[in-house]
A and B are shown apart, each in its own frame.
Chain A
Amino acid sequence: MIRRALLHVRSVLLRRRLEREMQEEMAEHLERATARFMSRGLSADDARRAAEREFGNLAWLQEQARDARGTAWLDALAGDLRYAVRQYARRPATTVVMFLVLAIGMSIATLLFSFVHSFATQPPPGVTLTDDMMRIRGSQSAGSFGRGARSFGEDEFAAYGQLSGHFAEVAGWTAASAALDAGPEPERRGLEARVTFVTDNYFSLLGVRPLLGAGLATTASDDSFRTATAVISHATWDRLFDRDPDIVGTTVTLNGVSATIAGVTPERFLGVAGWGDYRLWMPLSARELLFADGPALFSAAGRLQPGVTPQQATAAAQVVAAVHAAAAADADRAAARGANMPLDPSTEVVPLRSASGDPMYERDVKLMSGLVGLLALLVLLITCTNVSALLTGLAAARRHEIAVRLSLGAARPRLIRQLLTESALLAFLAAAAALGIVWAALRTVFAAITELPLEPRLTLPATAFTFGVALGVGVLFGLSPALHATRLAVAGVLRDASANVVATRARLQRTLVVAQIAFTQPLIVLLSALLLLVLTEFQAAPRSEYADRTMVLSLRTWSNSAASPEAAAQLREQMRNTTFLLAERLRATPGVVGVAPTGYGQTRIGGYIATPDRPADAALDVVRLSKSHVHPDYFDVMGIPVLRGRTFAQDEGVPPRGTAPVPAIIDRGLARRMWPGGDAIGRELRPASDTVTRSPTLVVVGVVDAPAARRQVAGIDHFIFLPLDTAQHALAGSAGGSMAPGELLLRTALPAHTLLPTVRALAQAEAPGASVTLRTLADIADEHERNFRLAATGVSAAGLMALLLAAIGLYAVIAFSVGQRTREIAVRMALGGHRPQVVRRFVADGLRLTAVGLLVGLPVSLFALRTLMSAAGTPHVPLPPVTVLAGLSVVLVAAVAAWIPARRAAAVDPAVTLRSE
């Protein structure tokens, strides 16, 4: 079998040589036969002729011989390819359009597929994946949300390590935030770092070798007490140390403990999971140096023993999980503590993927595959209809040529093969281009985003997928036009009077137009809705005039985070006091204009109605309100002028629930909306629906002009400000509006960055060991705008691409269907038709088809739109305008597509057209 395969390969590879040898062999045969006939007394010429007669038809024989060698198909293929290239060269414009449509369609589909496939198969970035590498994932019930992640206690984690029958090795890690001092300068101190404490085998199991340095060393117990080693992430090395090549051996301080840098991770490696601008890895033994409190909670990964399946390992892990859950429940009961146990704890062993630590990962993969698959299918369908329509047009235009070949005795399969070769050639070239596009896109775009937890790649399956699609497109959609074109009655076509053929062709074309529009419309509707959504939700925030002079300061302590509820409350109290002290110090600092503690940001709330002046107003139900609890100095610091009434008093708080209305300050827009023409001060606002929102009744004490605060939260119409309760500490169940410890808002006289070092130093002095984050409102707005620009650019680019694809296809389909009727146009013109009238008639015809297509696609569009809106959670994109807009753009393209060819056809002398047809 192998031998025969080799012989076949040989005959394919050595085709030219074998061909030459065959010629030589047969020539020799003829020569010797000639010599034989001459020796019998024939003349040279007669002998030659006799030899040839005896030999038979040389060309036919050679063809037979080639068949015997099994390489005839190769010659036929080469011929078909040459023919296809010539055909395309004759119609460069159509060819380029088809190529572009295919390439764009396939690159979108491939990109989508690569994403899903990478999500389903790729390990966390930087990890060298092997088949036996598993994530040991704890999960627990999360009620209606499905299942949530669960970490392991020390005992449970150790128990997985002892499953040596199933795991060759198990590595674990536990992560926590810590305050990092990277140097003496204020801006390199008090940074929030994410530290992952890892078991000794963590890096070796993941196949990660440090870019610099030797990596982690375990801390020996007899080592001098307060030292440790740390490996830093590439991004940390870049941001904090400017890629210093001599970084290894230097020290940093984490929560006051000095750590020697022992290595830098490779660029893409971010750990198995987690987040943070500054990431570090330290040995597990170093954890107790940084965090004095509480037991560690572990995550785990492992390597399976050879021959063990993930299912077997899961079964073993389930037993461990059950045993530990029972033991923990007993301990809980013994300690008579409140039930704080995970619900339905379980442990699964699943392949290590970038996101497989999430218990919902498998469902997400399915969901994503379905969703993205659907999208890719839609794109491919449009692509295929486009190309199919173009090919049908081409094949129909070539019916004369095909008829000639059929009448000369060409077999129908041979012709179909010829046409299929043409479409397959184009499809494969487009597939190659699409792969190039996707490769470039992944390289440039995703290389720019350095800390993406997923690394989308152009994998072998993605490549196979593209070429599979190409083959499908080439064969399937080359087949229908090919069959269509070769089914013609030869005589009829050659006589050029087959009304039948024209009729069937016109029907096919019309169906394609309607299908094209029906497919295109939902896509355009969806994309324009998405664009609108992005535009309305992420509007660039109007800057406050003080944006560059206002900064947000936040202090965080990380050590001793959750030893006990009492300790935590005490810590919060401490932080609150620190915050007030710091606020006093800052107020006394030259250059600082105002300081205000802040609450927990803005929250969306249910609708309010003005009472008793106005009855329930349905229109107000859709007004999106946001409330925030603010300090009396907030308006001053933010530069928000109080238009009417007053701000809050220094000791004004939220009264206990139900005792009295809560004083509120509202923005001017809301005041105008609720009490048009009247004064809002002293009026009451009642929750629109008491049972649902349980919001308190409000009494308006002031009206402010709050443009600067607008659009901080996506899609908010109006703001309601309530007093901040500075006496209550966070999460202690107050009436609401408790202060966020450690957060301050301050305004400076000069641009804030001049004061940044001073403020940072003050904060560090007041709260040693805490991490300090300082950002100006301008910074925040910049980031907001950057994100907005990124999102808008992405959506617009995708939208334009889809629109282009759809427009090309629509244009091609309609232009061809009109172009096919050139003869009819010529007849009308020859009969004395008025030119604009004829053109108008054809445009109207095209528009009629468009209308049918729009109607057919409408239900799909509306369904898609509703799904998108409910997914986005906003009913606020005006649905009818979007649909009308999408419809109009389709109609516009259709009209242009019908108008241009009709005009061109009508412009030609009818006699010329009729003769050439």
Chain B
Amino acid sequence: VTQPKNTFLTGTLELIVLQLLQAEPTNGYDLTLRIQAISRDVLSVNAGSLYPALYRLEQRGLLKASWQLSETGRRTKVYAVTTAGRRQLAEQRESWERFSGALEAILRVTG
């Protein structure tokens, strides 16, 4: 039984997913590619973590999914951030910035 390893915290994945989908609604496959491209291959999100995260966010009402036709004419499921999702994203960003600011301060002072 192979189980995909989480390379980073689930909370962070949610933040990334919400942030990227707010910038532009897209489907699951393109989202994995985009995470990889933007993070310059530092972050590699496999499907095993992404899809459960997407479903969980959808179930909580933070994402809304709709079936659309892609440029190639295929049916594809596109996720977009809802109003509740935007609120959640703002909160998560704020707490992340507080956290990373604090971490940076610690590293700078003691470094």
Contacts and interface: CB of A to CB of B under 8 A. Distances in A.
A870 interface: no
B52 A60 contact: no
Nearest to B53: A68
Interface in B27-62: 27-29, 46-48, 51-53, 55-56, 58-61
Contact of A68 (B27, B52, B61): B52
B59 A29 contact: no
B46 A65 contact: no
A8 B46 CA distance: 26
B111 interface: no
B108 interface: no
A487 to B, nearest CB: 29
B1 A57 contact: yes
B76 interface: yes
Contact of B29 (A7, A29, A68): A29
Contact of A11 (B29, B51, B59, B74): B59
Contact of A29 (B2, B47, B53, B56): B47
Contacts of A55: 46-48
A60 B28 CA distance: 18
A3 B51 contact: no
Interface in B52-108: 52-53, 55-56, 58-61, 67, 74-77, 84
Nearest to A51: B47
A632 B27 CA distance: 110
B52 A64 contact: yes
Contacts of B110: none
B74 A26 contact: no
A137 B37 CA distance: 85
Interface of B: 1-4, 27-29, 46-48, 51-53, 55-56, 58-61, 67, 74-77, 84
B46 A56 contact: yes
B55 A68 contact: yes
Best-buried of A3, A4, A26, A28 by chain B (most CB within 10 Å) = A28
A61 B59 contact: no
B21 to A, nearest CB: 15
B14 to A, nearest CB: 12
B110 to A, nearest CB: 39
Interface string A27-66: 0110011000000000000000000001111001100110
Contact of A69 (B47, B48, B59, B74): B59
A340 to B, nearest CB: 76
Nearest to B47: A55
A21 interface: yes
Contact of A28 (B1, B2, B29, B48): B29
Contacts of A32: 29
Given A11-B59, A26-B51, A29-B47, 6 more contacts: A25-B27, A28-B74, A28-B75, A56-B46, A56-B47, A60-B1
A67 interface: yes
Interface-central residue, B56, B59, B84, by most chain A CB under 10 Å: B59
29 contacts: A3-B84, A7-B60, A7-B61, A21-B77, A22-B51, A22-B55, A24-B75, A25-B28, A25-B77, A26-B51, A28-B27, A28-B29, A28-B76, A29-B47, A32-B29, A54-B46, A54-B47, A55-B46, A56-B2, A56-B4, A57-B2, A57-B3, A60-B3, A61-B48, A68-B53, A68-B55, A69-B55, A69-B59, A70-B59
Contacts of A60: 1, 3, 48
Contacts of A65: 51-52, 55
Contacts of B53: 68
A85 to B, nearest CB: 31
A57 B55 contact: no
A287 B56 CA distance: 77
Contacts of B55: 22, 65, 68-69
A4 B75 CA distance: 27
A7 B27 CA distance: 20
